[in-house]
Structure 1
Amino acid sequence: MIDSRSLPICWELVGNSEKMQPITITRAAPHCWGKFGFDKVAEQVKSRLALIPTNRLRRIAAHGYAKRFNSETAKNPERSANIYLRKTIERVTEIVDRSPLTIRELNSKKARKDKAKQITTICQQMGIVEFDESTTLEDAEQLVFASYIAMHDFTMSQGVTPPYQATFNAAKSKKVDGTWERCDTNLLADRLERGIRRMQCDKWWLRKLNRLRDTTLEHLNITMGLVKKGVSPYASKDAVQEFRHSKKSQREWVESMQLESKDGETIDLKHVFDHSISNPEIRRIEMIVRIRGYKEWAEEKGMACMFYTVTAPSKYHANSDKYNNASPRETQEYLVKQWAKVRAELSKAKIGVFGLRIVEPHADATPHWHMVLFMKPSDEATVTNTLRRYALQHDGDEDGAAKNRFDATPEDKSKGDAVSYIIKYISKNINGAHMGDMFDDETGLPIEPENGIVMNVAAWASRWRIRQFQFIGGAPVGIWREFRRVPKESVEKLSEIAKEIFEAADNSRFAEFIELLGGALGEQSRPVELAKEENGANAYGEPKQRTIGIASRGFTYVTRVTQWLLKRSDSDSPWSTGNNCNTPANDWQIGHGEKVNPIHLIPPEHRNAVMRGATYQEDDEINQTVTHYWVRGGNLMQESMSYA
């Protein structure tokens, strides 16, 4: 006699073999038979699990359901399992519905490529306009505006922020001396046209769709409880694994590349990487030097130092019963808005602050802020009260809000200064240097540079594109870095004030550097600034600038005399996004089933100009025709005229 019966609701691989085993739910007799509805229960569970996008997440949900359903201690196991699955599916469905990607597109890079091309075609069709010789400049501008608005709305519907959206929203007429002045429509149309070119580029769309895929899948991991202490803190196992792979690919790419000057001199890119701010250790040291300079300058001016911690309301935390399914990115945007309110109020009161803000994740991936701020002692109470008010503006009366949502601690020299307080956060969130024998306060896990919790934090910041460090006030680090490039033998060419600034930068005296540049609160104008020059345009027609040196009182000292081209170590030609692909040896050589790219009809030396809006003319003396080629809406257009 059968006392119980098990039915599969999902399948998974066993170990490293290809053998599949079922994840089952079990019911005792007599309710295990079909006439009691047990088979129907299993089928319903399988259909609901199918709503979860990836196989891995589906298996995890199945395990969660089966664990509750098969429990021998729960009062009502089936009800508990159904509540778990219903809430999980509701949160998953909300996230999937908000994403413009289908389940197939979330799991397939090829499907995302196809979608990017389809969207690009739609945008290109939106950009097709008709004009003739009677079309005026104002008419042309209106055509650009109409095309941009159509593509803007379509891009928003795809869950992507359109390029130049802030520029478009900020464009408005201004009232000057009682009369309204229109904005510069010519300049606006020029900028929006660059945005149109981006929205008509499949590569731009693929980058956006890949980013949506990353955040959607990570958000699903969070909402299903797979990002937390004891499972995978800060970031999911998938995100950490992909981050490790990308770091490895980046290292291999850097090691395979060289820089070559016009004179033929070559330098390994790895050497440049290791000695630049791209190196995490150099970045860590520079940040410590800067915050130490902030502290020293503040002490010289008799300023107060405060440490603040700001946390979002409980509804933003995935481990809370009040969780509203917000992503870490949405939580960060909330904190940024609250900080903007604080800055606006302090600015209105003419109160200046400077310091450093560090964004760090909780174990459930929810971001919170640590800040060390310097201010006048007389302003400390106002700054603290303003920060507290906006930190508790929403749900400030919930349990534990006063204790956990905001903390303000004055500097206590007996326990350590601002640098010693902030240095552990800098190291933990960059590379974990000198913390190999330490443990993370929140998770209790070791802080190791390669295999510890540091990798999870880095994966979290990379996945959500969250800026971890932001200096407030102080002096521009770009000028600091540029002065440190000046060779000592060339210092005599600098102006007197520039020489003093060089000495401060070259000897890592950031407090003196701040003072020479006008103070941390920007009370005085800066005596030096970066010198830049135009450096062509990118594929979307956007002008590029490059830093060439330092400008001081009408004099420019050039620090970047040599221009370098990037190339592969085993190649003689410079590297670019064009020749980086596996293209045919000649433009006219195509594989079976491929289509020739019409732009290849244009000679290579003229293609970039045509893609940026120029017209290429080709004379055919035999047939006595002139053909004009130009790009419209991302498509190559041509018109032939006979002069016979």
Structure 2
Amino acid sequence: MDIPNTYGLSEEDLDEVNDKLRQQNNFLEYSYISNDQTGQVFSLKECVISSNHNPDRYHAEIQNRINTLEREAKEEGLTPVFLTMTLPSEFHEMKHHNGELVANPRYNCTTPKEAVKILTKQWAKLRQDRSLKELDKLQRMYYRVNEPHKDGTPHTHILLFIPKNRIDRVESAFKRLFNRSGNKFEKNIRSAASYIMKYINKTLPLSKKEKLTETEHYLNAWFIKHRINRFCSSRSTAPIYLYRLVSHRYSLYALTQIRKGNTLQVFARMDNDKIMEIWDGDELLFARSENITLHTINEIQSNLQRYRTYKGKAA
């Protein structure tokens, strides 16, 4: 058995993740969507927005989301603060000793996936405090980034926009609810978007370069191995799944304003929640096409084999 390496992963873990990524990439590259009406054919990889398989588009979408959130916050007259939330020593499998990582005898065997859930509950605890709960949802906007320590234990960074006159009260609640060791509440943030993008860029190494360092490979694998979401945000902006369906018509900011006006109507199937139509008042923004067919690599190989068999019999 491999011993843990960077971010609590072994070389065996890294190989397993890389193999999974290769299989996913092969499926996306060799699967096609065809429009039975127009005859247009697209690789499935061209249509997917993914941190691993289409990182440039994914990064651009995240940047768009941050810019929209910051713009909304400014219009609401909100001020940014920055929170860092960590977990106590017993949640760390390894600890620092003389500049090296060694086994932590106090480790309580909490997995990174479970640890992220605990951090989420901690963040929810702060949101349920009266200092934040009393605010309208448009007066408490946030964007959250999950990230691992070197030993693989997660921590989280949160860019929070709130009214300026509420900052001291929220800070007091933060310090009352959480141990000050490792947990930070930062004020006087000059450029909110740049501040959070520093952490976003770190967790998306594939969007910045083609060749990763060994440490960056392990970092990317950590999210995949443990199935941990890199980011989440408040519901102040329009949901990304909705934006992707109408991005040809509206910017994320414009869609957010329409959504605030309560004129947006989304119709979905009752059996699987698949969105079929999106309307803005009397205007149809999106209608799901029934003329789209997905051709997978297995289907293509099967058809090719049948064709070869047919040609063999004909000969």
Aligned ranges 1:543-562 → 2 under 5 Å: 543-553=271-281, 556-562=284-290
| 1:375 positional shift | 0.7
Q: Between Structure 1 and Structure 2, whose CA radius of gyration is higher?
A: 1
Aligned ranges 1:610-629 → 2 under 5 Å: none
SS at the partner of 2:157?
strand
Contact 2:246 2:285 survives alignment (8 Å)? no
Q: Name the residue aligned to 1:290.
A: 65
Aligned ranges 1:237-636 → 2 under 5 Å: 237-263=11-37, 265-270=39-44, 273-278=45-50, 279-320=54-95, 321=104, 322-346=106-130, 348-350=133-135, 352-392=139-179, 402=180, 404-413=181-190, 417-434=191-208, 449-476=211-238, 477-486=240-249, 502=250, 505=251, 510=253, 512-518=254-260, 526-534=262-270, 543-553=271-281, 556-568=284-296, 571=299
SS at the partner of 2:107?
coil
Q: Distance in 2 between matches of 1:449 and 1:368?
A: 26
Q: Distance in 2 between matches of 1:250 and 1:267?
A: 20
Q: Distance in 2 between matches of 1:531 and 1:573?
A: 36
Q: Which has the higher relative contact order, 1 or 2, with Cα contacts under 8 A spaced 6 or more apart? A: 2
The aligned amino acid for 2:259 is: L
Q: Distance in 2 between matches of 1:307 and 1:275?
A: 34
Q: Which blocks of at least 5 consecutive residues in structure 1 are unaligned?
A: 1-55, 58-225, 393-401, 437-447, 487-501, 519-524, 535-542, 576-584, 586-644
| 1:298 positional shift | 1.6
| 1:551 positional shift | 2.1
CA offsets 1:310-343 (integer angstroms, 9 cap, x no match): 1011110112443222221222222122122222
Contact 1:353 1:473 survives alignment (8 Å)? no
Change (3 A) 1:432 1:251: closer
Q: Distance in 2 between matches of 1:372 and 1:349?
A: 19
Q: Which blocks of at least 5 consecutive residues in structure 2 are unaligned?
A: 96-103, 304-308, 310-315
Q: Distance in 1 between matches of 2:281 and 2:216?
A: 45
| 1:276 positional shift | 3.7
CA offsets 1:27-80 (integer angstroms, 9 cap, x no match): xxxxxxxxxxxxxxxxxxxxxxxxxxxxx25xxxxxxxxxxxxxxxxxxxxxxx
Change (3 A) 1:513 1:387: farther
Q: Name the residue aligned to 2:306.
A: none
Q: Distance in 2 between matches of 1:573 and 1:245?
A: 21
| 1:369 positional shift | 0.4
Q: Distance in 1 between matches of 2:16 and 2:118?
A: 27
Identity %: 22
Change (3 A) 1:569 1:463: closer
Change (3 A) 1:345 1:405: same
Change (3 A) 1:261 1:274: closer
Q: Distance in 2 between matches of 1:516 and 1:574?
A: 46
Query: What is the TM-score normalised by the length of structure 1?
Result: 0.41
| 1:232 positional shift | 2.4
SS at the partner of 2:274?
strand
SS at the partner of 1:308?
strand
| 1:430 positional shift | 2.3
| 1:250 positional shift | 1.3
CA offsets 1:288-325 (integer angstroms, 9 cap, x no match): 11111211222233211011111011110112443222
SS at the partner of 2:196?
helix
| 1:368 positional shift | 0.1
Contact 1:257 1:567 survives alignment (8 Å)? yes
Contact 1:531 1:547 survives alignment (8 Å)? yes
- Give aligned pairs, total: 288
Contact 1:431 1:449 survives alignment (8 Å)? no
The aligned amino acid for 1:528 is: L
Change (3 A) 1:286 1:449: farther
Q: Distance in 2 between matches of 1:426 and 1:266?
A: 35
Change (3 A) 1:370 1:420: same
CA offsets 1:543-562 (integer angstroms, 9 cap, x no match): 22322331233654434335
| 1:262 positional shift | 3.4
| 1:264 positional shift | 7.3
Query: What is the TM-score normalised by the length of structure 2?
Result: 0.80
Q: Name the residue aligned to 1:491.
A: none
Moved over 6 A (4+): 572-575
